[in-house]
DNA sequence: GTCTATACGAAGATAGAC
DNA sequence: GTCTATCTTCGTATAGAC
């Protein structure tokens, strides 16, 4: 905190940490979490393999740090926009609720400058990650805000039972995940760019997505659920 | 083909192959493909590790066989129902098209008896798998039929451009995947059963899903896409 | 032909020396 | 803070029992 030598080493360590976070965001998003080896990661970051363990404890600790760094802004904005909706006019429209949740997610791209597409792809990847431990890490991060939104949807959709609310909420999450990660797009267009497959990602059409989700929810209201015959 | 000894060994081999397929369907679905080691797999199947290599050549060969076995019926029924729609009344309704695609997927559960939930979860897992090689294997299997449906959606939605059609088609796939795998459900209800988290899975409400997708598509039609400002 | 036991190289994560 | 050594586990290949 005082000596110039200490500052030097401190800056070096901070820089290594930063580079590890950046590389992890990019590589986890591009190749997947499991598929990204610590060696490839530390090579890209220009550091030794053991640096991950030193700075983050483990690969999982690194993942947790990346999720925290990338999702914090989204969480905060979602919470803020829900605050606004709740303190405003009583009847909360479904469209407004959907928009308040979806737009901060899409906004990931703008919020991170040139790393925007990396960040968006990383989050899309994490959201569509089947591994239970990864899901857990993500859930811990977004749980508080998501809980508030789930409750808000419940109040805004009084005609739906608990299962129905969860259904539409899950649908919204799924759609956001799918369009953000671009998973299915690669099926019928495996080769787009040469090096990175990142180009157009994140430029999701907000209006289209909000319209689809809102329309889907409203349609669910009129269609009565078929119970077992 | 004749002797009783040969029949005996033949039955034994078929049984091992069957058990490997069954265990793979279950474990790949429960833990994920990467996360399932061949040793855990062969332990569950009560066979030796080399059996996978003998019967399927490799882990990837085994995965391919499971995908083939589980998706063949779905593919066939989807193709059949599209045939029926195309040979019937000219104006093909969106709802009918959605239903023809979605219902065979949900029908996975009924079509496989007591293994239904295993099969459904496996397919859900594969559909939401980020790994490029896994996606490729799945794509090879469903490509022909999916191509026909994509074209059919294009004809049924003449007001949408190519991107718009891909958007709604991707949305449908994503919703089917999310609800079939139950990915997001586990977020707010991590502990449901003790051993297997399979219980209610696959009992997706058809009407709800069809209504949501159809409503979403129709809503997309009216909402004009926002192009770059 | 079917299956088992065992070995091999590669890669991951981590502990402990420096 | 960094690096090297090690321990584990992975997927695969091979030799031989039945």
Highest mean pLDDT among A72-76, A143-147, A183-187, B214-218 belongs to: B214-218
Lowest-pLDDT range, A208-222, B2-16, B57-71? B2-16
Q: What is the pLDDT of residues A123-148, one digit of tens each?
A: 888 887 777 778 888 888 888 899 99
Tokens of B178: 């999310």
Distances (CA, A) of B165 to A53, B82, B162, B171, B172: 46, 17, 5, 10, 11
Which residue, A97, A175, A225, A209, is CA-closest to B209? A225
Distance B30 CA to C2 C1' (A): 29
The per-residue pLDDT for A186 is: 55
On whether residue A116 sits in a domain, the answer given is: yes
Which residue, A28, A211, A199, A165, is CA-closest to B130? A28
Mean pLDDT score, A198-222: 78
Q: From the centroid of its chain, how far is CA A88?
A: 27
Domain extent for A137: 68-222
Look-up: residue for tokens 């004749």? B2
Q: Report CB contact under 8 Å: A226, B205.
A: yes
Q: With an 8 Å Cβ cutoff, is B187 touching chain A?
A: yes
φ/ψ of A132, rounded to 5, equals: -65, -40
CB-based contacts of A93: which residues, under 8 Å, 6+ apart? Answer: A156
- Residue with minimal CA–C1' distance to C2 is B13
Distance A24 CA to D3 C1' (A): 21
- Whole-angstrom distance, CA of residue B166 vs CA of residue B171: 8
On whether residue A136 sits in a domain, the answer given is: yes
On whether residue A191 sits in a domain, the answer given is: yes
Q: Which of A215, A225, A226, A227 to mutate to test the interface with B (most CBs of B within 10 A)?
A: A215
Lowest-pLDDT range, A177-181, A207-211, B23-27, B171-175? A177-181
Does the pLDDT of residue B95 top 70, yes or no?
A: yes
Q: Which nucleotide lies nearest residue A54, CA to C1'?
A: D1
Mean pLDDT score, B157-167: 93
On whether residue B29 sits in a domain, the answer given is: yes
Does the pLDDT of residue A194 top 50, yes or no?
A: no
Lowest-pLDDT range, A50-64, A105-119, B115-129, B134-148? A105-119
CATH of the domain at B205: 1.10.357.10
On whether residue A114 sits in a domain, the answer given is: yes
On whether residue B106 sits in a domain, the answer given is: yes
Per-residue confidence band for B43, with pLDDT thresholds at 50, 70 and 90: very high
Higher pLDDT, A216 or B183: A216
On whether residue A201 sits in a domain, the answer given is: yes
On whether residue A50 sits in a domain, the answer given is: no
Q: Total structural domains in chain B?
A: 1
């Amino acid at each position: 905190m005082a000596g110039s030598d200490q500052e030097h080493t401190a800056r070096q360590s901070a820089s290594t940490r930063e580079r590890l976070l950046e590389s992890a965001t990019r590589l986890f998003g591009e190749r997947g979490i499991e598929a990204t080896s610590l060696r490839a990661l530390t090579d890209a970051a220009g550091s030794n393999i053991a640096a991950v363990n030193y700075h983050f404890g483990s690969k999982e600790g690194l993942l947790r740090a990346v999720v925290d760094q990338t999702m914090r802004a989204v969480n905060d904005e979602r919470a803020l926009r829900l605050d606004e909706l709740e303190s405003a006019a009583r009847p909360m429209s479904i469209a407004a609720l959907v928009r308040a949740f979806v737009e901060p997610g899409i906004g990931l791209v703008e919020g991170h400058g040139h790393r925007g597409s990396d960040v968006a792809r990383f989050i899309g990847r994490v959201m569509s990650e089947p591994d239970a431990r990864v899901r857990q890490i993500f859930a811990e991060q977004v749980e508080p805000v998501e809980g508030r939104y789930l409750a808000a949807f419940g109040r805004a959709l009084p005609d739906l039972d608990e299962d129905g609310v969860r259904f539409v909420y899950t649908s919204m999450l799924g759609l956001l995940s799918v369009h953000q990660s671009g998973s299915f797009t690669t099926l019928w267009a495996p080769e787009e760019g040469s090096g990175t497959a990142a180009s157009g990602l994140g430029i999701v059409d907000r209006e289209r997505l909000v319209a689809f989700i809102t329309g889907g929810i409203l349609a669910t209201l009129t269609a009565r659920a078929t119970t077992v015959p």
